[in-house]
Structure 1
Amino acid sequence: MRRRMVLAGIGIGLLAFTGQAATLPGAGAFSFASIDGGIVDLADWRGKPVLVVNTASLCGFAGQFDDLQALHERYGARGLLVLAVPSDDFNQELADAQAVKEYCAVNFDLTLPMTDITHVRGAQAHPFYKWMAAEHGFTPGWNFNKVLIGAQGEVLGTWGSAVKPTAGAITKRIEPLLR
């Protein structure tokens, strides 16, 4: 009886963590609050690749917003979701989501989907990033770390800040996944 209660508790814990029944999810089990209001649900992109990038407006790597937008324009119609995840975990983000949205629109003509300001590391990290740390040993070490998610929610690659989103190491992984 006690064992069943423990197992039931584990199942409930997984349900609370992933929003799904007691199975370990792929990345498609997660959703983010959108900077525009509403939700960006990765499950809506199952069957398509997703590039998730933690960003910060005031970071020295912010020029990569241009590359993220270029990927969005080049591959978006073929199925790629480029998702910017603004974070102030490295103290380089603006004060609120509206300021981030305006800054990115004015300075980078950004039209790709963005989340609300989100924690990407530590105890307050978004469940996606907690899952990446626990299941894949990946925690962003700085802004503009990239995670490529495959069609079934599997992690296909991670890259640090120094690797541009348009680098061959990333685009060569994306292109075979497109329709």
Structure 2
Amino acid sequence: MYLQSQLEGLESIFMELMPFGVELKRQQVQDFYDKRLDAAKEPVSSVAPTELRRQFNTKANQVRNLVDSAESLGDAGNKLNLIRAAASLPEERSRSVFEPVLQFCKELTFENKADSKLMESILESEELRPVEARMLLAATMFLIAYTVDDNGQQVPLRDILAQFVGLVKAERLLARNDPFLLEAQCALEALELEEAENQI
């Protein structure tokens, strides 16, 4: 349940807050959702106002909790800190992350780069833990691009996500019902369907 809430908070940040330039501070997050609630209440709705308020408060709390966790790692506005915070249980946050995973996620998140040599070292590593698995999946899922650069060549993001999903499943790095794995499998399926439709 905790990881599901963290994942939903991360989705909200990447899909709702960042596109609108909302500063990741507690009050700004609450103000954003209060304004959205007011806008949602304007048309006639069959949803009870108290239920609507509960839903918006839940979403705002998920985001604020994730921002607080990211702040414990450094700058909460840093996408990599947000991903790491969401991918970690509280007791895992103080442990260091396997350096190739950190470097790969950093390059993918900030530069749309996927170095194949770095990726190969990750795929062959026996040092991966659940935190690293979730970070790799999240960094790939939340990248808004179809392709990434690998030393001058454009590689489909779908292929990278497929390799990470395959690794996580083959090495049993995450439980089958882990929210990050489930979300990654859905994202991968959507990318594959979109590609199939584009070929028609």
User: Could you state the TM-score of these two structures normalised by the residue count of structure 2?
Assistant: 0.29
Tell me which protein shows more strand as a share of its residues: 1
Structure whose CA Rg is larger: 2
Higher RCO by CA contacts (8 Å cutoff, separation 6 or greater)? 1
User: Could you state the TM-score of these two structures normalised by the residue count of structure 1?
Assistant: 0.31
Tell me which protein shows more helix as a share of its residues: 2
